[in-house]
Structure 1
Amino acid sequence: MNLFSDFHDRISRIVQSLDLQAKDGGTLDLSRITVEPPRDPSHGDLATNAAMVLAKPVGTAPRALAERIAEALRAEPDVIAVDVAGPGFVNLRLAPSFWQLQLAGILKRGQDFGRSTVGGGRKVNVEYVSANPTGPMHVGHCRGAVVGDSLANLLGFAGFDVTKEYYINDAGVQIDVLGRSVMLRYREALGEEIGEIPSGLYPGDYLKPVGQALAKEFGRSLLDGPEDDALAIVKDRTINAMMAMIREDLALLNVHHEVFFSERTLHADNAKAIRAAVNDLTLAGHIYKGKLPPPKGELPEDWEDREQTLFRSTEVGDDIDRPLIKSDGSYTYFAADVAYLKDKVSRGFGELIFILGADHGGYVKRLEALAKAVTGGKVELSVLLCQLVKLLRNGEPVRMSKRAGEFVTLRDVVEEVGRDPIRFMMLYRKSDAPLDFDFAKVTEQSKDNPVFYVQYASARTHSVFRQAREQMGAIDTSRETLAAAVSKLEDSGELALVAKLSEYPRLIEQAALSREPHRLAFYLYDLASAFHAHWNRGNDQPDLRFVKVTEPELTVARLGLVQAVSDVLTSGLALIGAEAPKEMR
């Protein structure tokens, strides 16, 4: 039910019927034709650039070609007016009967309206959050969690086969540090005086319960055996405890992953998975022995002034070649990335999406290069970077650290403002733009608070039905009855609201294909604004109110419009991960 795709097809057929010939004798590229809402609604309901993108290849003036296309469009049964504007845009105005049929179709599909098959069942892996399991989630993880989860929901709604994945960084130096930190808390739980936590270890109080649980399970036995054996047990128990905490924190935000992939599995059995992945790259000619020049600025941790095993990543788009084996014979972190990406590919994913913080911008080219090398360019890889979030209260920076150490926890923020404001507002800016999150603004009940404004629109739709039942008693509001009545809608404001609803399928496809879930939040705000505006028109003009006791058939038709608004708001908010309330308290 994507009317823009429908008219794209109609206009393409019209262009083909004009028997236009490209100057170079080739085939005209019709894919550049767009059909979209005009920026200024007074110009019409739809606008197309067909004449402007085809004029040059055909060798004619854009306005002249636009007039030919416009003339053919005037014969379309759903079109009541066609104008040529500016350098060659063609603007269309559609008949009221067309919008009435659109609304009937929306009502029949309900909350499935907007669901698309554009993804074609393509398998997509969306990896997001993937925080080190060294403590509770902090607010720095929040934006990536919301962007990744909402994007995955959106892709699923657009017809992709999506897997939500979390990569557990449970190997490496930070896990050793975590283990030593918990050993101190374990000794503390046994009654020892541990003093101030040494620099370099994790100081948060959240590790105390882990130490207490170890003391309860093992008594003093972990101090009696070899330290390495004790640390192995401590690290295992601690990772499990931290991941349980992380899952709980994410659940507060309505984020639920389907796959939790452990980095430790790549290092198991003498790093069998990593060795196999590196061997594959070697056989493909992507590995060589050589020395890297010292990079400019601060030296990265994995740079060594020696001959080493290198991934020839510059040949597949990276800035520098990447080391795979350290001087002690162990594999670099990037070598684990090689094995992990190979594992994803082996699971049949045709596209890999990574949601990373802005401080991981340096990973983009190396991951893209790795995907080209491992898959021969057959698997698409994309990275979305999320800029920092600045927490404010009435414009002043927030300090909320409790038991976590030196950072603001995600749980702190959710407990203060609620899940829905966080999820909506984290999408109310494009992910690569900085975001100010003001506690006062996201909880105020006003038009200036987007999430309140959208949820208030949802509550208002339900209040209309309550009002109808109160004033008119038993009234048939089944979807079939509502859809059958929509021919009564003729007011320009009502039809404009249908037009805004009709943009939803196009919005879903565009947001999914461009990997831009923020578009959904913007659309929902615009839809809510249109609904509130029409509500206000009814306050000024009683004849436009949704419920007219003296005209039951018109009331049923208007209830159909309200139901459609409710369906789209509910659908869109669900994709964002927020509720569509039936009333506001």
Structure 2
Amino acid sequence: MNIFADIRALVTDALNALTEDGTLPAGLSFDNVTVEPPRDPAHGDMATNAAMVLAKPAGMKPRDIAVALADRLGGDTRIETAEVAGPGFLNLRLSGDVWRGVIGAVLQQGDGYGRSDMGQGHKVNVEYVSANPTGPLHVGHTRGAVFGDALASLLAYCGNDVTREYYINDGGAQVDVLARSVYLRYLEALGRAVEFPDGTYPGEYLIEVGETLAKEVGDRYVDQPEAVWLEQLRDYATDKMMDLIRADLAALGVEMDVFFSEKSLYGTGKIEAAIDFLRGRGLIYRGVLEPPKGKTPEDWEPREQTLFKSTDHGDDVDRPIMKSDGGWTYFAPDIAYHYDKITRGFDELIDVFGADHGGYVKRMKAAVSALSEGRVPLDIKLTQLVKLWKNGEPFKMSKRAGNFVTLRDVVEQVGPDVTRFVMLTRKNDAPLDFDFDKVLEQSRDNPVFYVQYAHARVMSVLRKAELAGIAGDDATLAAADLSSVGHEAELAVARKLAEWPRLVEIAARSHEPHRVAFYLYELAGEFHALWNRGNELPGLRFLQEDDTATSHAKMALARAVSVVISAGLGILGVTPAQEMR
């Protein structure tokens, strides 16, 4: 049930009727007609822009269309009032039966309420985290992991066939550095004195890796040149780091469907195949680039390079794909990786990158556009930085990591549920302050507590009902007579519940899972307001002494709230609280 879609259909039917009786000219498109909540709730329950968007193509005044439409809509029992406002907006108030019907729909559909088939099985690949396998995940990766995972869940909730993917950056020079760092820890485990040169990884997380290696191979690599051990230690260290990263993700409740190795692109012909595909479409050429911004011809040496003509697909400048020594640039394997995704049959690609990848967006979009010949869209979401605070001061770096705060540091401080919810309390491209004290605070200012408290309150009502011998199962509540639910505070909760299906589709369409967190906070606010009114007005309390029928009606409203909160938290990857301690 989507009441906004239902009322839009009612508006469209009324417009068709106005066309048939000659009030509106034939041939008008109603595609841009919307029905949505008004900016000011005092104006009504819903507002439609129909008259405003149809006035020009119809050659009519907006108010004339709005008045005619209001007359048509006024005859429907769902519409209590239809009022023309301003130059031609139409504000609608719906009958109480409509809102009571929402409560029944939530309970009848259960966790299916709000689910959508909008995606129609659309195959979507969401790539996120994709951290270099050189150490534990840090707090920046944490935000990307939470965002990507919630987005994947949101898209699946709306009927898409979603694949969660991690791209292992194990083909670059940083993995050689990792191997050398592990080698030093290996020597250390065998009693050798070592120093970590600049550029190596001195974090304590490699101590255990070095010790394990020493137990497995003994002194086999001691005093041996790099040529003997580098390749083996690359693979060994990468595997150990990916085990660590998988464990970090599991601590956050993140499970990937696919781990794709960059290394698998080399020596397999995959990079060459992707470049040949582009070459076959006239997009690879030898040329000389202009000096980068800020460079002058005097300090820039122009040289002929092998370039991808990315400007044909919206980029600012063509991009090199091959170095002067004949090796591939870092962009070439990324082209090949996305070509592999396209050949796997995905209808849409989403990449979640850190804030430092902003300059990479246009070139990657251009590559995917060229590789798919415009068929497969790529959306790149950038997650901005997270600032950590504790006791009013910046949170210190992790000794174990060496130079950053790890995902484990955060999860061990506050738990995975709090971590995930807080990471979604801001839009992904806005900076986020994560205060360890505030996120555990029991107040309205802490959205995690506020939403969880609402769910826990409903659970407490159901437990009390059971103790009082009042049935509180979903089937009983779904069949309840809801006529006693009519106070404005109760209907305000029902109206907010009605927004859930629409909100889910908007969030999925815009790839913005933070909207779910915002909505849950607003729903919790309406529920807490009703609860507090019950302290003043006994008739609003969820359990009515010696009146089982009314208790069932009011419990149905409360239970509907918990159903939607549970569904929303499920998308965010958060477990609903059964009680607050």
TM-score range, shorter chain: over 0.9
Corresponding position of 1:146: 146
Corresponding position of 1:84: 84
Corresponding position of 1:267: 266
Instruction: Measure the CA separation in 2 of the matches of 1:411 and 1:552.
Output: 49
Instruction: Measure the CA separation in 2 of the matches of 1:35 and 1:13.
Output: 13
The DSSP-based 3-state class of the residue aligned with 1:484 is coil
Instruction: Measure the CA separation in 2 of the matches of 1:563 and 1:297.
Output: 61
Corresponding position of 2:341: 344
Residues 1:312 and 2:312 are matched in the alignment = no
Corresponding position of 1:564: 560
Residues 1:230 and 2:229 are matched in the alignment = yes
Instruction: Measure the CA separation in 1 of the matches of 2:295 and 2:20.
Output: 59
Instruction: Measure the CA separation in 1 of the matches of 2:122 and 2:129.
Output: 23
Instruction: Measure the CA separation in 2 of the matches of 1:225 and 1:174.
Output: 21
Map 1:373-388 → 2, pairs under 5 A: 373-388=370-385
Instruction: Measure the CA separation in 2 of the matches of 1:250 and 1:328.
Output: 38
The DSSP-based 3-state class of the residue aligned with 1:361 is helix
1:477 and 1:556 in contact (8 A); partners too: no
Residues 119-151 of structure 1: CA distance to partner in whole angstroms, max 9, x if unpaired?
Answer: 111000001110000000111111111111111
2:477 and 2:555 in contact (8 A); partners too: no
Residues 1:555 and 2:551 are matched in the alignment = yes
Corresponding position of 1:205: 204
The DSSP-based 3-state class of the residue aligned with 1:268 is coil
Corresponding position of 2:533: 537
1:116 and 1:509 in contact (8 A); partners too: yes
Instruction: Measure the CA separation in 1 of the matches of 2:223 and 2:438.
Output: 56
Residues 174-211 of structure 1: CA distance to partner in whole angstroms, max 9, x if unpaired?
Answer: 111111111111111111111x3111111111111111
Instruction: Measure the CA separation in 1 of the matches of 2:41 and 2:9.
Output: 22
Tell me by how many angstroms 1:553 deviates. Answer: 0.1
Residues 65-98 of structure 1: CA distance to partner in whole angstroms, max 9, x if unpaired?
Answer: 1111111110112111111112221111111222
1:108 and 1:480 in contact (8 A); partners too: no
Length, aligned pairs only: 578
Corresponding position of 2:442: 445
Counterpart code for 2:235: D
The DSSP-based 3-state class of the residue aligned with 1:32 is coil
Residues 1:482 and 2:478 are matched in the alignment = yes
Instruction: Measure the CA separation in 1 of the matches of 2:197 and 2:132.
Output: 20
Residues 523-562 of structure 1: CA distance to partner in whole angstroms, max 9, x if unpaired?
Answer: 0000000000000010000111000022110101111111
Tell me by how many angstroms 1:394 deviates. Answer: 4.3
Q: Which stretch of the first structure deviates more once superposed, 509-518 or 316-325?
A: 316-325
Residues 1:278 and 2:279 are matched in the alignment = no
Instruction: Measure the CA separation in 2 of the matches of 1:297 and 1:399.
Output: 36
Tell me by how many angstroms 1:61 deviates. Answer: 1.6
| Distance of aligned partners of 1:476 and 1:521 in 2 relative to their CA distance in 1, 3 Å threshold | closer
Counterpart code for 1:151: L
Residues 1:527 and 2:526 are matched in the alignment = no
Counterpart code for 1:197: F
Runs of at least 5 residues in structure 1 that lack an aligned partner in the other structure:
none
Map 1:32-431 → 2, pairs under 5 A: 32-194=32-194, 196-223=195-222, 227-269=226-268, 272-297=269-294, 305-431=302-428
Residues 240-283 of structure 1: CA distance to partner in whole angstroms, max 9, x if unpaired?
Answer: 110111111111111111111000000134xx110111111111
1:103 and 1:483 in contact (8 A); partners too: no
Tell me by how many angstroms 1:355 deviates. Answer: 0.8
Tell me by how many angstroms 1:318 deviates. Answer: 0.7
The DSSP-based 3-state class of the residue aligned with 2:82 is strand
Counterpart code for 1:463: S
Counterpart code for 2:266: H
Instruction: Measure the CA separation in 2 of the matches of 1:99 and 1:307.
Output: 68
| Distance of aligned partners of 1:476 and 1:375 in 2 relative to their CA distance in 1, 3 Å threshold | closer
Tell me by how many angstroms 1:481 deviates. Answer: 4.3
Instruction: Measure the CA separation in 1 of the matches of 2:292 and 2:31.
Output: 44
Tell me by how many angstroms 1:488 deviates. Answer: 3.3
Instruction: Measure the CA separation in 1 of the matches of 2:469 and 2:123.
Output: 50
The DSSP-based 3-state class of the residue aligned with 1:203 is coil
Counterpart code for 1:110: G
1:158 and 1:509 in contact (8 A); partners too: yes
Q: Which stretch of the first structure deviates more once superposed, 223-232 or 313-322?
A: 223-232
| Distance of aligned partners of 1:569 and 1:243 in 2 relative to their CA distance in 1, 3 Å threshold | same
2:116 and 2:157 in contact (8 A); partners too: yes
The DSSP-based 3-state class of the residue aligned with 2:480 is helix
Tell me by how many angstroms 1:328 deviates. Answer: 1.7
The DSSP-based 3-state class of the residue aligned with 1:566 is helix
Counterpart code for 1:285: G
Counterpart code for 1:484: A
Residues 1:17 and 2:17 are matched in the alignment = yes
Q: Which stretch of the first structure deviates more once superposed, 381-390 or 398-407?
A: 398-407
Root mean square deviation, CA, Å: 2.0
Residues 454-504 of structure 1: CA distance to partner in whole angstroms, max 9, x if unpaired?
Answer: 00001000001112222x325253424433332332222222211110100
The DSSP-based 3-state class of the residue aligned with 1:329 is coil
Tell me by how many angstroms 1:402 deviates. Answer: 2.0
Runs of at least 5 residues in structure 2 that lack an aligned partner in the other structure:
none
Tell me by how many angstroms 1:55 deviates. Answer: 1.1
Q: Which stretch of the first structure deviates more once superposed, 566-575 or 386-395?
A: 386-395
The DSSP-based 3-state class of the residue aligned with 1:18 is helix
| Distance of aligned partners of 1:298 and 1:422 in 2 relative to their CA distance in 1, 3 Å threshold | farther
| Distance of aligned partners of 1:219 and 1:298 in 2 relative to their CA distance in 1, 3 Å threshold | farther
Instruction: Measure the CA separation in 2 of the matches of 1:372 and 1:348.
Output: 15
Tell me by how many angstroms 1:567 deviates. Answer: 0.4
| Distance of aligned partners of 1:16 and 1:304 in 2 relative to their CA distance in 1, 3 Å threshold | farther
Instruction: Measure the CA separation in 2 of the matches of 1:304 and 1:332.
Output: 18
Instruction: Measure the CA separation in 2 of the matches of 1:523 and 1:55.
Output: 34
Counterpart code for 2:514: H
